[in-house]
Amino acid sequence: MTAAAPSYRVWALPGIPEVHEGDDVAKLIAAAAFTDGLPGLADGDVLVVTSKIVSKAEGRILRAEDREAAIDTETVRLVARRGTLRVVENRLGLVMAAAGVDASNTEAGTVLLLPEDPDASARRIREALRTGLGVDVGVVITDTAGRPWRKGVIDFAIGAAGVQVANDLRGDVDAHGNPLVATVVATVDELAAAGDLVKGKAGGLPVAVVRGLPHVVGDVGDAGDAGDAGDARAEGARWLVRPAVDDMFRLGTSEAVREAVSLRRTVREFTDDPVDPGAVRRAVAAAVTAPAPHHTTPWRFVLLETEAARTELLDAMRDAWIADLRADGRSEESIARRVRRGDVLRKAPYLAVPCLVMDGSHDYPDARRSAAEREMFVVAAGAAVQNFLVTLAGERLGSAWVSSTMFCRDVVRRVLDLPEGWDPMGAVAIGRPAVPPVERAARAADAFVVVR
Protein backbone atom coordinates (compact mmCIF):
# COMPACT_ATOMS: atom_id res chain seq x y z
CA MET A 1 0.00 0.00 0.00
CA THR A 2 1.42 3.37 -1.01
CA ALA A 3 1.95 5.82 1.86
CA ALA A 4 -0.04 9.03 1.70
CA ALA A 5 1.86 11.98 0.27
CA PRO A 6 2.78 14.60 2.87
CA SER A 7 0.34 17.51 2.85
CA TYR A 8 -1.17 20.21 5.01
CA ARG A 9 -4.10 22.60 4.83
CA VAL A 10 -4.18 26.30 5.66
CA TRP A 11 -7.14 28.69 5.98
CA ALA A 12 -7.81 32.16 7.31
CA LEU A 13 -10.26 32.94 10.11
CA PRO A 14 -12.83 35.54 9.01
CA GLY A 15 -14.93 37.48 11.46
CA ILE A 16 -12.26 38.76 13.84
CA PRO A 17 -13.34 42.33 14.66
CA GLU A 18 -11.18 45.41 15.09
CA VAL A 19 -9.03 44.80 18.15
CA HIS A 20 -8.71 47.35 20.94
CA GLU A 21 -6.53 47.64 24.00
CA GLY A 22 -7.52 45.08 26.62
CA ASP A 23 -9.24 42.67 24.22
CA ASP A 24 -8.64 38.94 24.74
CA VAL A 25 -7.03 37.76 21.50
CA ALA A 26 -7.46 34.07 22.38
CA LYS A 27 -11.22 34.53 22.86
CA LEU A 28 -11.52 36.40 19.56
CA ILE A 29 -9.67 33.58 17.78
CA ALA A 30 -11.79 30.88 19.43
CA ALA A 31 -15.02 32.63 18.47
CA ALA A 32 -13.90 33.00 14.86
CA ALA A 33 -12.57 29.44 14.58
CA PHE A 34 -15.87 27.81 15.55
CA THR A 35 -18.22 29.81 13.37
CA ASP A 36 -20.45 27.89 10.96
CA GLY A 37 -18.65 26.36 8.02
CA LEU A 38 -15.22 26.30 9.62
CA PRO A 39 -13.55 23.16 11.00
CA GLY A 40 -12.73 24.72 14.39
CA LEU A 41 -9.45 24.00 16.15
CA ALA A 42 -7.86 20.64 16.93
CA ASP A 43 -4.78 19.29 18.62
CA GLY A 44 -1.73 19.76 16.37
CA ASP A 45 -3.02 22.89 14.62
CA VAL A 46 -0.78 25.93 14.32
CA LEU A 47 -2.24 29.41 14.66
CA VAL A 48 -0.44 32.08 12.63
CA VAL A 49 -1.30 35.44 14.19
CA THR A 50 -0.43 38.87 12.80
CA SER A 51 1.46 40.89 15.39
CA LYS A 52 -0.73 43.95 14.78
CA ILE A 53 -3.72 42.54 16.66
CA VAL A 54 -1.47 41.47 19.53
CA SER A 55 0.06 44.96 19.68
CA LYS A 56 -3.37 46.57 19.71
CA ALA A 57 -4.65 44.28 22.47
CA GLU A 58 -1.54 44.97 24.55
CA GLY A 59 -1.84 48.73 24.15
CA ARG A 60 1.23 49.09 21.96
CA ILE A 61 -0.38 52.03 20.14
CA LEU A 62 1.49 55.31 20.27
CA ARG A 63 0.17 58.75 19.48
CA ALA A 64 2.89 59.97 17.18
CA GLU A 65 2.55 62.52 14.46
CA ASP A 66 6.26 61.96 13.87
CA ARG A 67 6.86 58.29 13.04
CA GLU A 68 10.60 58.90 12.93
CA ALA A 69 10.62 59.76 16.64
CA ALA A 70 8.85 56.48 17.39
CA ILE A 71 11.44 54.61 15.32
CA ASP A 72 14.18 56.32 17.34
CA THR A 73 12.72 54.99 20.59
CA GLU A 74 12.61 51.42 19.28
CA THR A 75 16.08 51.43 17.70
CA VAL A 76 19.19 50.08 19.39
CA ARG A 77 21.50 50.05 16.35
CA LEU A 78 21.49 51.56 12.88
CA VAL A 79 22.23 48.92 10.25
CA ALA A 80 21.80 50.95 7.06
CA ARG A 81 20.34 54.24 5.96
CA ARG A 82 19.40 55.34 2.46
CA GLY A 83 17.75 58.74 2.51
CA THR A 84 14.80 58.55 4.88
CA LEU A 85 14.71 54.75 4.91
CA ARG A 86 16.37 53.17 7.91
CA VAL A 87 17.06 49.49 8.49
CA VAL A 88 17.77 49.05 12.19
CA GLU A 89 18.09 46.51 14.96
CA ASN A 90 15.19 47.01 17.34
CA ARG A 91 14.99 46.23 21.04
CA LEU A 92 13.88 42.65 20.26
CA GLY A 93 17.09 42.05 18.32
CA LEU A 94 15.20 41.97 15.00
CA VAL A 95 16.74 43.73 12.00
CA MET A 96 13.89 45.46 10.17
CA ALA A 97 13.01 48.56 8.24
CA ALA A 98 11.75 51.28 10.59
CA ALA A 99 12.27 49.03 13.66
CA GLY A 100 8.91 47.37 12.96
CA VAL A 101 7.04 50.62 13.73
CA ASP A 102 3.93 50.53 11.56
CA ALA A 103 1.60 53.36 10.56
CA SER A 104 -0.80 51.12 8.59
CA ASN A 105 -3.97 49.47 9.89
CA THR A 106 -4.13 51.98 12.72
CA GLU A 107 -5.86 55.31 13.24
CA ALA A 108 -4.37 58.42 11.65
CA GLY A 109 -1.89 60.06 13.99
CA THR A 110 -0.96 56.77 15.66
CA VAL A 111 1.64 54.10 15.08
CA LEU A 112 1.85 50.50 16.19
CA LEU A 113 4.88 49.17 18.02
CA LEU A 114 5.72 45.49 18.11
CA PRO A 115 4.65 43.54 21.23
CA GLU A 116 6.93 43.95 24.22
CA ASP A 117 7.70 40.20 24.29
CA PRO A 118 6.19 38.34 21.31
CA ASP A 119 7.21 34.92 22.64
CA ALA A 120 5.42 35.61 25.92
CA SER A 121 2.39 36.85 23.98
CA ALA A 122 2.35 33.59 22.00
CA ARG A 123 2.55 31.56 25.22
CA ARG A 124 -0.40 33.43 26.72
CA ILE A 125 -2.58 32.85 23.66
CA ARG A 126 -1.65 29.17 23.54
CA GLU A 127 -2.33 28.62 27.22
CA ALA A 128 -5.66 30.47 27.06
CA LEU A 129 -6.84 28.25 24.19
CA ARG A 130 -5.67 25.10 25.96
CA THR A 131 -7.52 26.16 29.12
CA GLY A 132 -10.64 27.43 27.38
CA LEU A 133 -11.03 24.88 24.58
CA GLY A 134 -8.89 21.95 25.69
CA VAL A 135 -6.89 21.99 22.45
CA ASP A 136 -3.13 21.76 22.14
CA VAL A 137 -2.10 24.16 19.39
CA GLY A 138 1.08 25.95 18.44
CA VAL A 139 1.07 29.72 18.11
CA VAL A 140 3.27 31.79 15.79
CA ILE A 141 3.17 35.60 15.91
CA THR A 142 4.34 37.23 12.70
CA ASP A 143 5.41 40.50 11.19
CA THR A 144 6.51 41.55 7.73
CA ALA A 145 10.04 42.31 6.58
CA GLY A 146 12.14 42.55 3.47
CA ARG A 147 15.15 40.33 2.88
CA PRO A 148 18.70 41.04 1.74
CA TRP A 149 19.28 40.28 -1.95
CA ARG A 150 15.56 39.69 -2.62
CA LYS A 151 12.80 42.04 -3.72
CA GLY A 152 9.47 41.97 -1.93
CA VAL A 153 8.46 41.32 1.65
CA ILE A 154 7.47 38.17 3.49
CA ASP A 155 5.99 37.30 6.88
CA PHE A 156 8.36 35.85 9.43
CA ALA A 157 8.03 34.74 13.04
CA ILE A 158 8.74 37.19 15.86
CA GLY A 159 7.11 35.07 18.57
CA ALA A 160 6.31 31.38 19.00
CA ALA A 161 4.98 28.95 21.60
CA GLY A 162 4.36 25.21 21.53
CA VAL A 163 5.80 24.85 18.06
CA GLN A 164 9.07 23.67 16.60
CA VAL A 165 11.10 26.82 16.08
CA ALA A 166 13.86 25.21 14.04
CA ASN A 167 14.57 21.76 12.68
CA ASP A 168 18.24 20.91 13.07
CA LEU A 169 19.23 18.51 10.30
CA ARG A 170 22.95 18.63 10.96
CA GLY A 171 24.31 15.14 11.27
CA ASP A 172 21.66 13.65 8.98
CA VAL A 173 22.31 12.58 5.39
CA ASP A 174 20.49 13.50 2.21
CA ALA A 175 18.94 11.08 -0.31
CA HIS A 176 22.37 10.50 -1.85
CA GLY A 177 24.06 9.79 1.45
CA ASN A 178 25.79 13.19 1.66
CA PRO A 179 26.16 14.47 5.23
CA LEU A 180 24.24 17.62 6.16
CA VAL A 181 26.62 19.91 8.04
CA ALA A 182 24.90 23.31 8.10
CA THR A 183 21.16 22.82 7.52
CA VAL A 184 18.95 24.25 10.27
CA VAL A 185 15.45 24.91 8.91
CA ALA A 186 13.58 27.89 10.39
CA THR A 187 10.26 26.05 10.75
CA VAL A 188 8.34 28.94 12.30
CA ASP A 189 9.30 31.27 9.45
CA GLU A 190 7.98 28.73 6.95
CA LEU A 191 4.72 28.52 8.90
CA ALA A 192 4.52 32.32 8.99
CA ALA A 193 4.86 32.56 5.22
CA ALA A 194 2.31 29.78 4.67
CA GLY A 195 -0.23 31.56 6.85
CA ASP A 196 0.30 34.87 5.09
CA LEU A 197 -0.73 33.34 1.76
CA VAL A 198 -4.30 33.26 3.05
CA LYS A 199 -4.21 36.17 5.50
CA GLY A 200 -2.87 38.75 3.07
CA LYS A 201 -1.84 42.29 3.91
CA ALA A 202 -5.07 44.22 3.44
CA GLY A 203 -7.91 41.71 3.68
CA GLY A 204 -8.77 42.09 7.36
CA LEU A 205 -7.82 38.48 8.05
CA PRO A 206 -5.20 38.59 10.82
CA VAL A 207 -5.18 34.89 11.78
CA ALA A 208 -4.63 31.67 9.83
CA VAL A 209 -4.79 28.02 10.86
CA VAL A 210 -2.32 25.45 9.55
CA ARG A 211 -3.48 21.83 9.91
CA GLY A 212 -1.72 18.61 9.01
CA LEU A 213 1.67 19.20 10.62
CA PRO A 214 1.16 17.83 14.14
CA HIS A 215 4.82 16.81 14.39
CA VAL A 216 5.83 20.46 14.76
CA VAL A 217 3.46 21.10 17.68
CA GLY A 218 4.03 20.20 21.32
CA ASP A 219 5.62 21.18 24.59
CA VAL A 220 9.30 21.81 25.29
CA GLY A 221 11.49 18.77 24.80
CA ASP A 222 9.61 17.18 21.89
CA ALA A 223 11.66 15.79 19.03
CA GLY A 224 12.79 18.29 16.45
CA ASP A 225 14.13 21.05 18.66
CA ALA A 226 17.24 22.72 17.34
CA GLY A 227 19.71 20.22 18.73
CA ASP A 228 22.95 21.53 20.17
CA ALA A 229 21.87 25.09 19.44
CA GLY A 230 19.86 24.89 22.64
CA ASP A 231 16.23 24.30 23.46
CA ALA A 232 14.78 26.53 20.76
CA ARG A 233 11.23 25.54 21.58
CA ALA A 234 11.69 26.85 25.11
CA GLU A 235 13.26 30.11 23.99
CA GLY A 236 10.75 30.79 21.22
CA ALA A 237 11.29 32.74 18.01
CA ARG A 238 13.95 34.78 19.78
CA TRP A 239 16.26 31.80 19.23
CA LEU A 240 16.38 32.64 15.52
CA VAL A 241 18.00 36.03 16.07
CA ARG A 242 21.55 35.58 14.87
CA PRO A 243 24.22 36.60 17.43
CA ALA A 244 26.37 39.53 16.37
CA VAL A 245 29.52 37.40 16.36
CA ASP A 246 27.98 35.13 13.68
CA ASP A 247 26.45 37.90 11.57
CA MET A 248 28.47 38.41 8.39
CA PHE A 249 26.07 41.05 7.09
CA ARG A 250 25.64 43.16 10.18
CA LEU A 251 25.88 46.54 8.46
CA GLY A 252 25.09 48.33 5.23
CA THR A 253 27.97 49.37 2.97
CA SER A 254 28.54 52.94 4.11
CA GLU A 255 27.83 51.99 7.74
CA ALA A 256 30.38 49.17 7.53
CA VAL A 257 33.00 51.61 6.29
CA ARG A 258 32.27 54.00 9.16
CA GLU A 259 32.38 51.16 11.69
CA ALA A 260 35.69 49.90 10.32
CA VAL A 261 37.09 53.42 10.65
CA SER A 262 35.80 53.67 14.21
CA LEU A 263 37.16 50.20 15.06
CA ARG A 264 40.66 51.11 13.92
CA ARG A 265 42.81 51.45 17.00
CA THR A 266 46.51 51.28 17.72
CA VAL A 267 46.83 47.79 19.21
CA ARG A 268 49.89 47.03 21.33
CA GLU A 269 49.04 43.58 22.68
CA PHE A 270 48.37 40.66 20.34
CA THR A 271 47.39 37.04 20.73
CA ASP A 272 49.52 34.25 19.32
CA ASP A 273 46.85 33.43 16.73
CA PRO A 274 48.25 33.28 13.20
CA VAL A 275 47.24 36.00 10.77
CA ASP A 276 45.52 35.00 7.54
CA PRO A 277 47.82 36.21 4.72
CA GLY A 278 44.76 36.49 2.50
CA ALA A 279 43.27 39.09 4.85
CA VAL A 280 46.46 41.16 4.64
CA ARG A 281 46.45 40.95 0.86
CA ARG A 282 42.85 42.12 0.80
CA ALA A 283 43.96 45.09 2.88
CA VAL A 284 46.74 45.78 0.39
CA ALA A 285 44.19 45.65 -2.43
CA ALA A 286 42.21 48.34 -0.61
CA ALA A 287 45.36 50.34 0.11
CA VAL A 288 46.30 50.70 -3.55
CA THR A 289 42.97 52.33 -4.40
CA ALA A 290 44.16 55.50 -2.62
CA PRO A 291 44.48 58.72 -4.64
CA ALA A 292 47.93 59.50 -5.99
CA PRO A 293 49.52 62.29 -8.07
CA HIS A 294 50.03 62.06 -11.83
CA HIS A 295 48.18 58.71 -12.11
CA THR A 296 51.10 57.01 -10.37
CA THR A 297 51.12 54.02 -8.02
CA PRO A 298 53.61 55.18 -5.38
CA TRP A 299 53.10 52.33 -2.89
CA ARG A 300 54.78 49.01 -2.22
CA PHE A 301 54.04 46.70 0.72
CA VAL A 302 56.68 44.32 2.06
CA LEU A 303 55.00 41.52 4.01
CA LEU A 304 57.06 39.74 6.65
CA GLU A 305 55.28 36.43 7.07
CA THR A 306 58.05 34.40 8.68
CA GLU A 307 59.39 34.80 12.19
CA ALA A 308 62.95 34.65 10.87
CA ALA A 309 62.37 37.62 8.57
CA ARG A 310 60.74 39.64 11.35
CA THR A 311 63.46 38.86 13.87
CA GLU A 312 66.28 39.73 11.47
CA LEU A 313 64.72 43.09 10.63
CA LEU A 314 63.82 44.03 14.19
CA ASP A 315 67.22 43.05 15.56
CA ALA A 316 68.95 45.23 12.96
CA MET A 317 66.59 48.13 13.65
CA ARG A 318 67.14 47.79 17.40
CA ASP A 319 70.89 47.92 16.97
CA ALA A 320 70.60 51.03 14.77
CA TRP A 321 68.29 52.68 17.28
CA ILE A 322 70.60 51.96 20.20
CA ALA A 323 73.49 53.42 18.24
CA ASP A 324 71.48 56.59 17.56
CA LEU A 325 70.47 56.93 21.21
CA ARG A 326 74.07 56.51 22.40
CA ALA A 327 75.15 59.14 19.90
CA ASP A 328 72.51 61.42 21.48
CA GLY A 329 74.16 60.93 24.86
CA ARG A 330 71.34 58.87 26.40
CA SER A 331 72.12 56.74 29.45
CA GLU A 332 72.03 52.97 29.16
CA GLU A 333 69.00 52.90 31.47
CA SER A 334 67.16 55.41 29.29
CA ILE A 335 68.08 53.47 26.17
CA ALA A 336 66.81 50.18 27.63
CA ARG A 337 63.54 51.85 28.64
CA ARG A 338 62.99 53.29 25.17
CA VAL A 339 63.81 50.01 23.44
CA ARG A 340 61.27 48.20 25.62
CA ARG A 341 58.60 50.72 24.62
CA GLY A 342 59.32 49.91 21.00
CA ASP A 343 58.73 46.20 21.45
CA VAL A 344 55.19 46.37 20.03
CA LEU A 345 56.55 45.19 16.68
CA ARG A 346 58.08 42.12 18.32
CA LYS A 347 54.80 41.18 19.95
CA ALA A 348 52.95 40.94 16.64
CA PRO A 349 52.71 37.68 14.66
CA TYR A 350 52.83 39.57 11.35
CA LEU A 351 54.55 42.71 10.06
CA ALA A 352 54.06 44.82 6.96
CA VAL A 353 56.39 47.57 5.82
CA PRO A 354 54.70 50.09 3.51
CA CYS A 355 57.14 51.84 1.22
CA LEU A 356 56.98 55.01 -0.86
CA VAL A 357 58.35 55.04 -4.39
CA MET A 358 58.69 58.23 -6.41
CA ASP A 359 58.29 56.63 -9.84
CA GLY A 360 56.44 59.04 -12.10
CA SER A 361 57.25 62.13 -10.04
CA HIS A 362 58.12 65.36 -11.84
CA ASP A 363 61.53 67.03 -11.73
CA TYR A 364 61.67 70.73 -10.88
CA PRO A 365 64.65 73.11 -11.02
CA ASP A 366 63.92 74.67 -7.61
CA ALA A 367 63.80 73.19 -4.12
CA ARG A 368 60.35 74.61 -3.27
CA ARG A 369 58.51 72.75 -6.01
CA SER A 370 60.59 69.61 -5.55
CA ALA A 371 59.66 69.55 -1.86
CA ALA A 372 55.99 70.03 -2.71
CA GLU A 373 56.20 67.21 -5.26
CA ARG A 374 57.54 64.82 -2.63
CA GLU A 375 54.89 65.94 -0.14
CA MET A 376 52.19 64.98 -2.63
CA PHE A 377 53.61 61.47 -2.82
CA VAL A 378 53.95 61.24 0.97
CA VAL A 379 50.29 62.22 1.34
CA ALA A 380 49.36 59.50 -1.15
CA ALA A 381 51.36 56.98 0.88
CA GLY A 382 49.54 58.04 4.04
CA ALA A 383 46.17 57.61 2.31
CA ALA A 384 47.18 54.11 1.25
CA VAL A 385 48.28 53.19 4.77
CA GLN A 386 44.97 54.49 6.17
CA ASN A 387 43.07 52.31 3.69
CA PHE A 388 45.27 49.42 4.76
CA LEU A 389 44.65 49.92 8.49
CA VAL A 390 40.90 50.41 8.10
CA THR A 391 40.55 47.28 5.99
CA LEU A 392 42.52 45.29 8.57
CA ALA A 393 40.06 46.53 11.19
CA GLY A 394 37.21 45.35 8.98
CA GLU A 395 38.91 41.94 8.93
CA ARG A 396 38.88 42.08 12.77
CA LEU A 397 42.65 42.40 12.85
CA GLY A 398 44.39 44.84 15.14
CA SER A 399 47.30 46.95 13.98
CA ALA A 400 49.87 49.49 15.09
CA TRP A 401 51.58 51.79 12.61
CA VAL A 402 55.02 52.46 14.08
CA SER A 403 57.43 54.99 12.57
CA SER A 404 60.67 53.14 13.46
CA THR A 405 61.68 52.17 9.91
CA MET A 406 61.70 55.82 8.84
CA PHE A 407 64.68 56.46 11.14
CA CYS A 408 66.85 53.70 9.68
CA ARG A 409 65.77 53.34 6.05
CA ASP A 410 69.18 52.20 4.87
CA VAL A 411 69.13 49.38 7.41
CA VAL A 412 65.64 48.30 6.38
CA ARG A 413 66.50 48.36 2.67
CA ARG A 414 69.65 46.30 3.32
CA VAL A 415 67.97 43.65 5.51
CA LEU A 416 64.92 43.31 3.26
CA ASP A 417 66.95 43.60 0.05
CA LEU A 418 64.87 46.50 -1.28
CA PRO A 419 65.68 48.82 -4.20
CA GLU A 420 67.39 52.08 -3.32
CA GLY A 421 64.33 54.11 -4.35
CA TRP A 422 61.98 52.40 -1.87
CA ASP A 423 61.46 54.51 1.27
CA PRO A 424 60.04 52.52 4.21
CA MET A 425 57.22 54.57 5.76
CA GLY A 426 57.09 52.89 9.14
CA ALA A 427 56.09 49.33 9.97
CA VAL A 428 52.63 47.95 10.70
CA ALA A 429 52.27 45.34 13.44
CA ILE A 430 49.29 43.07 12.70
CA GLY A 431 47.48 40.46 14.79
CA ARG A 432 44.43 39.59 16.80
CA PRO A 433 43.97 42.07 19.67
CA ALA A 434 44.68 40.44 23.02
CA VAL A 435 42.39 42.83 24.92
CA PRO A 436 39.35 44.88 23.90
CA PRO A 437 40.24 48.34 22.59
CA VAL A 438 40.00 51.25 24.96
CA GLU A 439 36.96 53.39 24.27
CA ARG A 440 38.03 56.39 22.26
CA ALA A 441 37.04 59.79 23.61
CA ALA A 442 34.45 61.47 21.43
CA ARG A 443 35.77 64.17 19.13
CA ALA A 444 33.38 66.80 17.88
CA ALA A 445 33.91 67.28 14.16
CA ASP A 446 33.22 71.01 14.44
CA ALA A 447 36.36 71.41 16.55
CA PHE A 448 38.42 70.53 13.46
CA VAL A 449 36.48 72.56 10.90
CA VAL A 450 37.02 76.06 9.67
CA VAL A 451 34.38 77.50 7.34
CA ARG A 452 35.06 80.40 5.03
Whether 2 is covered by a domain: the verdict is no
Q: What pLDDT does residue 179 have?
A: 81
Whether 185 is covered by a domain: the verdict is yes
Question: Do 209 and 332 lie in a common domain?
Answer: no
Look at residues 246, 268, 297 and tell me which one is the last residue of a structural domain: 246
Question: Do 242 and 385 lie in a common domain?
Answer: no
Question: Do 218 and 272 lie in a common domain?
Answer: no
Q: Where are the beta strands (DSSP E) in 103-240?
A: 110-112, 138-147, 150-161, 167-168, 184-185, 207-211
**Domain membership of residue 137 as a residue range:** 9-60+114-246
Whether 382 is covered by a domain: the verdict is yes
Q: What pLDDT does residue 90 have?
A: 93
pLDDT in tens, 165-219: 998 888 788 888 888 777 888 999 999 999 999 997 667 899 999 999 999 998 7
Instruction: Give the N- to C-terminal CA distance of the chain in Å, as an integer.
Output: 88
Give the SS3 label for residue 178.
coil
CA distance 306 to 290: 28
Q: Cα separations (Å) of 30 from 42, 44, 121, 137, 152?
A: 11, 15, 16, 12, 32
Q: What pLDDT does residue 222 have?
A: 41
**DSSP of 332-384:** HHHHHHHHHHGGGGTT-SEEEEEEE--TTPPP-SSHHHHHHHHHHHHHHHHHH
Look at residues 186, 213, 246 and tell me which one is the last residue of a structural domain: 246
Contacts of 380 (CB under 8 A, 6+ apart): 290, 291, 292, 293, 296, 298, 299
Question: Do 435 and 317 lie in a common domain?
Answer: yes
Whether pTM > 0.85 for this model: the answer is no
**Residue in 53, 41, 27, 12 with CA at minimum distance from that of residue 137:** 41
**Residue in 209, 215, 217, 244 with CA at minimum distance from that of residue 233:** 217
Residue 344, φ and ψ in degrees, nearest 5: -60, -35
Mean pLDDT of 249-277: 83
Q: What pLDDT does residue 229 have?
A: 44
Question: Do 242 and 267 lie in a common domain?
Answer: no
Residue 258 has pLDDT above 80, yes or no: no
Look at residues 184, 218, 246 and tell me which one is the last residue of a structural domain: 246
pLDDT in tens, 382-393: 999 999 999 998
pLDDT class for 221, splitting at 50, 70, 90? very low
**Residue in 412, 423, 332 with CA at minimum distance from that of residue 385:** 423
Question: Do 259 and 228 lie in a common domain?
Answer: no
